[in-house]
Amino acid sequence: MILSRLSILNYKNIAEASLEFSPKVNCLLGNNGMGKTNVLDAVFYMSFCQSSQTRSDAATVRHGEEFMLLQGVYERNGKTEQISCAVQRGKRKSIKRNGKEYRRQSEHIGLLPLVMVSPADWNLISGGGEERRRLIDRIISQGNHAYLEALIDYNRALTQRNAMLRQGMADPLLFESVDAFMCRAAEAIYKARLEWIERFTPIFMRYYGEIADSREKVRLDYRSELHERSMETVLKENFRRDTLLGFTSHGVHHDDIELMLGDELMRKTGSQGQCKTYTAALRLAQFDFLKLAGGPTPLLLLDDIFDKLDSHRVANIVRVVSQPSFGQIFISDTNRQHIDETIAALGGDYRIFFVEDGHCRKLDV
């Protein structure tokens, strides 16, 4: 899959930009805070209908403007796809495919598979379980719409159940109905996550070894209450507690992945370089997992990969992504030498864009 053209209007600090990309390597060069990451984030938005940095659509609209608009032209499985994403303050966002608006925005997820490696990935290690669940959900959802639907159903039931608990409702029949709906969705989510961790972990371990060039032992441990008992039992056992708290305290919405280095949590023992290697390996494994799902080759976004990694590990990442299995790549960096070295290692067609104060221009090279 190739993103051939992207038009940006009023997205964050970018007033207007029209970019024609190389089918292979595209580099964004400029100082920090100039808008390089915002260009990558616009590409991310086209795939996920939301920013990688904020859940607020209003925050993506340029200061002082009333709307933002992203328009992309993709080559996917031999066909041209025209996608537009628009946000107007105070109104529902609009996502269109070839001029036709989606009935449900969830229908778009997975059409344009994408993997982004960024400094924000540090939160996967240092943050709470929500960050790691979001990783799982985004990976599985791009290749499994049944999982995405189960996730939507579960969260809808969870919201309703929490509202009932807050309001002190005591109708057992009503709770029974909501719980039954919630349990069906939970079991589907749990099953998909189990299958995912079994297939994903060996891929991740291989990439970690290739990047670190070492025999450090790493693994991913999936933690879920459903390992031991059903979701129905979990809800029944904790019902009294939930009525006192006013929310659902247990369930698959508290699942987590423990990121292990040897027998210790990575966040407790890993160096900055090890942590960055860990998250990069997670993302590259995500790329392989999406390809194995049978869809088009995902776009790969590498935002500031030189930060906190030694030159040897960066070279290993570049060597990995230069393989034929990887398709179109977007790279951002502040250092022209880093960009030139990466281009030389990757080979093939490339374009460099200079980004300054939200303005983008193609460099003649």
Among candidate residues 59, 195, 34, 37, the one with its CA nearest the CA of residue 116: 37
Among candidate residues 57, 68, 73, 200, the one with its CA nearest the CA of residue 138: 200
Residue type at position 6: L
Determine if residue 159 is labeled as part of a ligand binding site. Answer: no
Determine if residue 297 is labeled as part of a ligand binding site. Answer: no
Q: Tell me how far apart the alpha carbons of residues 352 and 6 are, in angstroms, rounded to a whole number.
A: 15
Among candidate residues 111, 138, 110, 74, the one with its CA nearest the CA of residue 283: 138
Phi, psi of 11 (to 5 degrees): -100, 110
- Say whether 222 sits in a helix, a strand or coil: strand
Please, are residues 306 and 298 in contact by the beta-carbon 8 Å criterion? no
| Tokens, residue 189 | 């989510």
The DSSP-derived string for 190-214 is HHHHHHHHHHHHHHHHHHHHHHHTS
Query: Would the CA dihedral through 233, 236, 240, 241 be positive or negative?
Result: positive
Alpha helices (runs of H) in the chain, residue ranges in sequence order: 36-48, 122-126, 129-143, 145-166, 172-212, 231-237, 239-245, 266-269, 272-292, 311-321, 336-346
Determine if residue 347 is labeled as part of a ligand binding site. Answer: no
Determine if residue 37 is labeled as part of a ligand binding site. Answer: yes
Pairing of strands 350-356, 25-29: parallel
Among candidate residues 109, 46, 110, the one with its CA nearest the CA of residue 83: 46
Interhelix angle 145-166/172-212, nearest 10 degrees: 130
The residues facing 353 across adjacent strands are 28, 362
At which residue do the structure tokens 């998909």 appear?
A: 192
Determine if residue 35 is labeled as part of a ligand binding site. Answer: yes
Among candidate residues 65, 56, 69, 73, the one with its CA nearest the CA of residue 3: 73
Bind-site residues:
30-37
Bind-site residues for ATP:
30-37
